[in-house]
A and B are shown apart, each in its own frame.
Chain A
Amino acid sequence: MISLSHVSKVFEGKRKATALEDVSLEIAKGQVVSIVGPSGSGKSTLLNLIGGLDRPTSGEIRIEGENLAELSDDDLTRVRRDKIGFVFQFFNLLPTLNCLENVALPLHLRKWPRKKIEARAKELLNLVQLDHRLEHLPDELSGGERQRVAIARALSVYPPILLADEPTGNLDTHTGQEILKLIEDLHSRLGSTILIVTHDLEVANRCFRTVSLRDGRIVEDRRR
């Protein structure tokens, strides 16, 4: 499903910073994997590379057998929008769009017919139990609700892969739990491959597999 071989990422700047060094990783379909490590260990970078938001300095990343390095920017975007859903720590909802519009955005970008979009968006918001908040703007929602909208948006095309960067990082414990439950629930229902970047061990422990990073290298790959 997801395969990384000898991936390195170096940030060129005034000071050269190596974020990832020779990382190789295989993630099978349907796995729920958590990536843990202290800040600066390269876990977000790893997620960004897998999600095609960034390109590695060296090494090869394959998503369902497709080598990301060989793709143009737009083809990379196509892989992203068809196969990958993103959930961010700060939700990254568009403040001017209401819940329905936010969720519908990726579908509009895919040029789905409008009727189908509306049906799907409602279905998704129903799935995250926000069917009563369709017309609300993100500002009018609580943190947990916002993250649920974000998850609904990430799932809009039912992508085979869901990438979540600290999905609970900006939420209180209780809401965090709810979100995790929602993710687990979605996994069991949709069978997506899920990668969660977190520094919360509790979150990590709930996953089938935990990859630990330190200074850009995998130090541990534990399966339960």
Chain B
Amino acid sequence: MMLLRLLSWPYLRRHVLRWTLTLAGIVLGVAVFVAMHTANRSIFSAFDKTIDQIAGSAQLQVSAGEFGFDESILERVQAVPEVGVAVPVIEANVETKIPGQGSILLLGIDMTGDRSLRDYELKDADDAIIDDPLVFLAQPDSVMVTKEFAERNKLEVNSRVPLLTIDGEKQFTVRGIMSSAGMTQAFGGNLAVMDIYAAQQVLGRGRRFDRIDIRAKEGITVDQCKAAVKAALGESFEVETPSARGRHFEGLLRSYSTAMTISSLFALIVGMFIIYNSFAIAVTQRRSEIGILRALGATRGQIQRLFFLESITAGFVGSALGAFAGVGMASVITTYMSTVLEQTTGFAQRVTELAIDPKLIVAGIAIGVITSIFAASIPARSAARVDPVQALQKGKYQVLSAGENRRRRRMALTVSLISVACLFLSYSKLFFYAGYVLMIVAGLLLAPALTLLLSKCLRPILKQLLPAEGTLAADSLVQAPRRTSATVSALMLSLAMVVGFGGFAHSFYTSVGEWMDNALNPDFFVSPSANLVVRAITFPASIRSVIEHVAGVDQVQLVRNARVSFRNVPVMVLAIETEKVSGTVHRMPVAGTTEEMNRLTGQGKGMMVSDSFAQIHTVRMGDIVELPTPSGLLKLPIVGIVRDYSDLQGSLLIDRSVYTKWWNDDTANVARVYVKKGEDVGVVRQRVIDALAGHHGLLVLTNREVRDWIMKLIDQWFALTYNQIAVAILVAVLGIVNTLTVSITDRRRELGVMQAVGGLRNQIRRTIWIEAFSIGVIGLVLGTALGAINLYYSLGMVKRDLGGLDLDYIFPLAFVAFMIPTILAASFIAAIGPAESAVRGSLVEALEYE
């Protein structure tokens, strides 16, 4: 501790800038980690809370996927003697047309008596929340909103609220304002309650409910009640506690959060290199100080401990700041993520408070500290090995890394051989990931040697271009490989991540593009909402004839899609008119033959599944898939595997006839419309719009609009990861700043000489810039190379564990081409500060510097 105060503190004070940059690495890494996880947690907990709050005092919930079920089920449930109270519920996210309010959770409950209100723990139910219950029921435009929502939008009783319904935008009347705790907190207060029978009409649900909330009769346990209800309803219904539904949601988002975690860890590793760099530099610079200490009798252990203490302190300060910043970032990310999730999965979440987990904060700080210690361990070891005699000789650099490079290269070779060996065993998850990690490790081990090699290659080129500045810049890199290589490693790692991720994104976009060309080829789509993920509103099959009668329309294909539970995970089921669709869509099968799968699916003898579904659930051709339906368990064999990106979690395609029969529902969410050959699509579209204008609020979306919408979704899905990569690159660029800061200190005398013999300030700046550019170039070369490998593993990982997508390896040339100027520009920016400080300061001191 004494040593720390006597030695570390003065050093720290002298190099405030560098330590600030080092800390920035840890701060960013930990901040991203904490922010991502906090955001994740916040969304999950908001979802859980919403479920909880909406569930009110319900102990069990009966549901059948998103398709809902017939009203008559309610009486069957109410007739079960173990059931105390059973109330039907319809739940939907509906767009409010109030600007800036987005969607609102519309809850349809049975408002006949005041029971519902009491069950939902609206404590002041007695104080007549609803002005007049009879009016509320008599008028189907009645809604109850939360006090919060009312205040936010300056609503009072009898104010009008516009909501998007099956009939388009419709005005509703506020006939009650809920103000108590409990349910009103759900969905961030964006909650409206209406009578369930009115909701059925407004949402086009027919005589169907989404859910039945149950409370067991007094004296009956929840389990007894659950068993009794299950027995009464059969397997086709899920009877779960409200909290079990939250787990489904988590399952749905697992791949997203896994991807987030991986990229935040990447950022942390990059941060680790920056720390390593700083400590390595510190050891080099404080060589003589360490020498004096050793000469005065300090043991190696003491020196090593000194550096460990420094790293713990740095790690702790950085991590604490990072955790702090992370919590700050979390709210922004949370908002963004919940929007993305709403748009891609249709599960809207309104997160009003961050779920800050002290354990996560502690974990974040621990990770930061451990990373720092780990990163400082090698420099600390070399500090301990400083030879006092050599260290005290002025002007001589002790070559600490003699032999180290050779050892490293040998290790790198061994590691990459093992990694290649793992490739042959990569059917096993363990070996696959071991191979992945080892490949990265090999890359990192080789980085210093390759950095040196590339610097040497660059020298003649730079000398040719700018004899004075270029040569000196290149020499600076060659002379201090340690200073350079950690930064290059960090940059390399960031770029490898960029290339790996960019490649994945590119392959994904390509694949989705192909799928859209194949499967999304109708001339236009008719849907109740511009957001095709919204399945809350459906329309009756009779719309078909309305559209078909429009002159110029060739064919109408109805689609009904919704999530149902498969092995406790919600999966997307698409009910399509197989025969018609097979005439217009020609998918390349992944397994099975097109004709056969279309025929069997069309006859209701099988289903097609997406390759991602098959991968995620490890099912193969011929396997029987069991789906719960209101009429019992539907069992169909898989007769074909196709590429389908309707849902990121994989999709099941069944015939519409199967759907109408088993689900007893003939509504649809989307109609795919083909125009007769030779007809003008725009004209026909207008005719369809006119035909639909009278009775339904349906939208007619062009093929382009739908494609753009899907692309926008994918962009949003990726955007956050892009940002994380940007953070990783930022951290890497901070590393460049760090390296240059040290470089100009090391070369202060050299730069002084340059000025003394006539170097203008711009020439001095230029040599710093060139050094930065060179680091950028080397990082780019190595990063692209490692990225090519990383891409291979990324695609493997995506296929295995993140969504089961089987994508082709396409090297993202355009992406890399974009990265070149980006990184070079970033390097240039990184060099501005150091370059300026290089041209400032006293020349006299610089020349005497030693």
Contact = CB atoms under 8 A, between A and B. Distances in A.
A81 B758 contact: yes
A218 to B, nearest CB: 21
A73 B844 contact: no
A156 B759 CA distance: 14
A74 B761 contact: yes
B342 interface: no
A174 B750 CA distance: 28
A92 B753 contact: yes
A154 B467 CA distance: 18
Contacts of A133: none
Interface in A65-96: 73-74, 77-78, 80-82, 86, 88, 90, 92-96
B754 A105 contact: yes
Interface in B453-506: 467-468, 471-472, 475-476, 478-479
B847 A96 contact: no
B467 A51 contact: no
B753 A73 contact: no
Interface string A91-106: 0111111000100111
A108 B467 contact: yes
A178 interface: no
Contacts of B839: 73
B844 A53 contact: yes
A95 to B, nearest CB: 8
Contacts of B755: 77
A105 B757 contact: yes
A48 interface: yes
8 contacts: A92-B749, A92-B752, A94-B750, A96-B475, A105-B757, A109-B759, A114-B467, A157-B758
Interface of B: 467-468, 471-472, 475-476, 478-479, 749-750, 752-763, 839, 842-844, 847, 850
Nearest to A154: B757
A205 B757 CA distance: 28
Interface string A142-184: 0000000000011011000000000000000000000000000
Contacts of A185: none
Main secondary structure of the interface of A (DSSP, over half): helix
A48 B844 contact: yes
Contacts of A94: 472, 475, 750, 753-754
B756 A80 contact: yes
B763 A54 contact: no
A137 to B, nearest CB: 11
A110 interface: yes
Nearest to B850: A90
A48 B847 CA distance: 11
Given A104-B467, A109-B759, A109-B763, A92 B847 contact: yes
Nearest to B763: A109
A80 B758 contact: yes
- List of 8 A-B pairs having minimum Cβ-Cβ separation, nearest first: A81-B758, A96-B475, A108-B468, A106-B757, A108-B467, A53-B843, A92-B753, A106-B758
Q: Which of B476, B755, B758, B760 has the most CB of A within 10 A?
A: B758
B559 to A, nearest CB: 70
A77 B749 CA distance: 16
Q: Which of B475, B478, B479, B753 has the most CB of A within 10 A?
A: B753
Contacts of A81: 757-759
A104 B754 CA distance: 12
Contacts of B752: 92
Contact of A54 (B479, B749, B844): B844
Nearest to A88: B847
A51 B760 contact: no
Contacts of B761: 73-74, 77
A30 to B, nearest CB: 22
B758 A97 contact: no
Contact of A96 (B472, B756, B844): B472
A51 B752 CA distance: 13
Given A96-B479, A97-B471, A108-B467, A53 B760 contact: no
Nearest to B478: A96
Given A74-B761, A106-B758, A156-B757, 20 more contacts: A48-B843, A54-B843, A74-B762, A77-B759, A80-B756, A81-B757, A81-B758, A88-B847, A92-B756, A92-B847, A95-B479, A96-B471, A96-B472, A96-B475, A101-B471, A105-B754, A105-B757, A109-B757, A114-B467, A117-B467
Nearest to A93: B753
Nearest to B463: A101
Q: Which of A73, A82, A96, A157 has the most CB of B within 10 A?
A: A96
A114 to B, nearest CB: 7
Contacts of A156: 757
A109 B843 contact: no
Contact of B758 (A48, A92, A110): A110
A66 to B, nearest CB: 16
Contacts of B468: 105, 108-109
A168 to B, nearest CB: 18
Contacts of A74: 760-762
Contacts of B842: 54
Contacts of A86: 756-757
A154 B756 CA distance: 10
Nearest to B479: A96
Nearest to A85: B757
A132 to B, nearest CB: 23
Contacts of B844: 45, 48, 53-54
A109 B479 contact: no
Q: Which of A92, A93, A101, A157 has the most CB of B within 10 A?
A: A92
B756 A51 contact: yes
Contacts of B763: 109
Nearest to A163: B756
A100 to B, nearest CB: 11
Contacts of B749: 92
A80 B759 CA distance: 9
Interface in A42-63: 45, 48, 51, 53-54
Contacts of A93: 753
Contacts of A104: 467
Contacts of A77: 755, 758-761
Contact of A53 (B476, B750, B847): B847
A108 B844 CA distance: 23
A123 B512 CA distance: 69
B757 to A, nearest CB: 4
Contacts of A109: 468, 754, 757-760, 763
